[in-house]
Chain A
């Protein structure tokens, strides 16, 4: 049992982060929960002795995914802002 402790802990972290990601509605705040989920998943893959998969997760989840999500948010907000201005005129 003691040998499985890291795996149990990593699973717990994934559960917490995954639940938080699903429960967060605002995309900007969700990015952080998603980044936390990425880190937790990387740790889980690491304790399951899958460093290649953990590396993939770290490479994609740390910088690439947040950048893509935040760029999408910026695009949507810009559009909403110009539409709101249009309504005021």
Chain B
């Protein structure tokens, strides 16, 4: 195809897109209006199922199947990062050096670590009641763990952070979601249908399956972020390329096999 033909095809495509966008925009409801056909139905359904956070009801109940695909995206992204950032044959792992962190900074970070972890768990647990949920809380909880690296050093983080364990937790959260859906299928209802008792509106025990699915997502996201940051931290601190190390005049003894263990 010549350049000209290509440009013509592109122009036709762009014109078609523009026409369809204009047609779509003309029928949109006005900005900031209080009425919306979907909004009304979603809110009604959410309140009918005793979930005061309508967004959580939409994400984990009314269209829980979509969320299953969304969490698979994160899982796939982290998996890809693990593969790309693994230790390759021409790289070696070195011992991380201890770091000197000013004492007040260290004390503050260590004091704030449990607070951050608790905030993350709080956001996960209250997903069906107030804004938040598995993703938001999971990220906060995973950030809490990395305060160990900020407050002390990488060795302290490595001591409590077993990457294989977190990889397993990631997979367990990822698998837990469809397994819950299959469990629902066993009861005779359709996939991921909200079959648990709805509970009391506005309390922790409300929303039926919403908090359970939220917990699965929270586990998956927290573990995924820990695994993801482990790759970045390893690359920045532990992994060195062979030639670079020799160039620095250090113990470049050419023991290439040491680097083949993989990043995990």
Contact = CB atoms under 8 A, between A and B. Distances in A.
In-complex A–B contact (CB below 8 Å)? yes
Interface of A: 4, 7, 51-52, 54-56, 59-60, 63-64, 67-68, 71-72, 74-75, 78-79, 82-83, 85-86, 89
A4 B32 contact: yes
22 contacts: A4-B32, A56-B135, A56-B139, A59-B139, A63-B143, A63-B146, A64-B142, A64-B229, A67-B232, A71-B233, A71-B236, A72-B232, A72-B236, A75-B235, A78-B236, A78-B244, A79-B241, A82-B248, A83-B247, A86-B247, A86-B248, A89-B247
Contact of A82 (B32, B142, B146, B245): B245
A79 B233 CA distance: 15
Given A64-B225, A67-B146, A75-B235, A55 B247 contact: no
A77 B140 CA distance: 28
A52 B136 contact: yes
B247 A75 contact: no
Contacts of B32: 4, 7
- Interface of chain B, main secondary structure: helix
B132 A52 contact: yes
A32 to B, nearest CB: 18
B232 A52 contact: no
A55 B232 contact: no
Interface residues of B, number: 32
A55 B225 contact: no
Interface in B130-146: 131-133, 135-137, 139-140, 142-143, 146
Contacts of B232: 67-68, 71-72
B223 to A, nearest CB: 14
A13 to B, nearest CB: 18
B123 interface: yes
A57 B235 CA distance: 26
B210 interface: no
B136 A56 contact: yes
A55 B131 contact: yes
B140 A59 contact: yes
B55 interface: yes
B243 interface: yes
A70 to B, nearest CB: 8
A74 B232 CA distance: 10
B131 A51 contact: yes
B55 A52 contact: yes
A63 B225 CA distance: 12
Given A60-B139, A68-B232, A71-B235, A52 B247 contact: no
